């Protein structure tokens, strides 16, 4: 644990699932009902800091999150990224993307192409985003793939 690291000090979002090695959190990001992170529990910086077996565990969780988001939200695309430039603790972003989200088709970290109301930043009208799916549906789909949250020792 690194006491200076935000992902060591806290979950990094609303916990949907946690296991011995990693956790899946839902990120409270306006305009993104399906923005998740898979966070490695132990403080490591890079994917290659993990053993081959640990990498398989991480990618199994990433696959499960992507499948759960596709099932529950039916997005136009799912983005998967591991950056760590700002928070150098291994985590993978799994983001459901919709044609009317604030950044589509650009990356979620760049300047928005439309306002939160669904209007294009350049002023052209765009349809309003649909209502977000409930957190419970994503969590249920995720637990079907990863299993129940292990009991605390």
State the Cα–Cα distance between residues 12 and 93, nearest whole angstrom: 11
pLDDT in tens, 10-42: 999 999 999 999 999 999 888 888 999 999 999
8 A C-beta contact, residue 150 and residue 20: yes
- Residue 10, C-beta contacts closer than 8 angstroms, at least 6 positions apart: none
- 44 compared with 130, residue with greater pLDDT: 44
Tell me: cis bond preceding 105? Omega within 30 of 0 counts.
yes
Residue 118, pLDDT score: 52
pLDDT in tens, 87-141: 999 999 999 999 888 899 999 888 888 765 555 544 433 344 444 557 899 999 9
Q: What is the pTM of this model?
A: 0.86
Nearest Cα neighbor of 66 from 91, 85, 92, 42 is 92
Helix (H) or strand (E) holding 57, with range, is helix 52-73
Q: Give the CATH number of domain 6-99+133-146.
A: 3.30.428.10
């Amino acid at each position: 644990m690194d006491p200076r690291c935000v992902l060591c000090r806290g979950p990094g979002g609303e916990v949907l699932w946690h296991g011995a090695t990693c956790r899946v959190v839902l990120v409270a990001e306006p305009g993104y009902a399906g923005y998740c992170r898979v966070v490695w529990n132990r403080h490591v910086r890079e994917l290659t800091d993990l053993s081959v077996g640990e990498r398989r565990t991480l990618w199994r969780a990433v696959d499960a999150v992507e499948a759960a988001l596709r099932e529950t939200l039916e997005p136009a695309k799912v983005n998967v990224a591991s950056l760590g430039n700002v928070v150098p603790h291994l985590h993978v972003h799994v983001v459901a993307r919709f044609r009317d989200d604030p950044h589509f088709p650009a990356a979620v970290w760049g300047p928005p192409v439309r306002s939160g109301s669904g209007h294009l930043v350049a002023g052209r009208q765009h349809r309003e985003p649909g209502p977000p799916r409930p957190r419970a549906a994503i969590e249920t789909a995720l637990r079907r793939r990863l299993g129940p949250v292990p009991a605390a020792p």
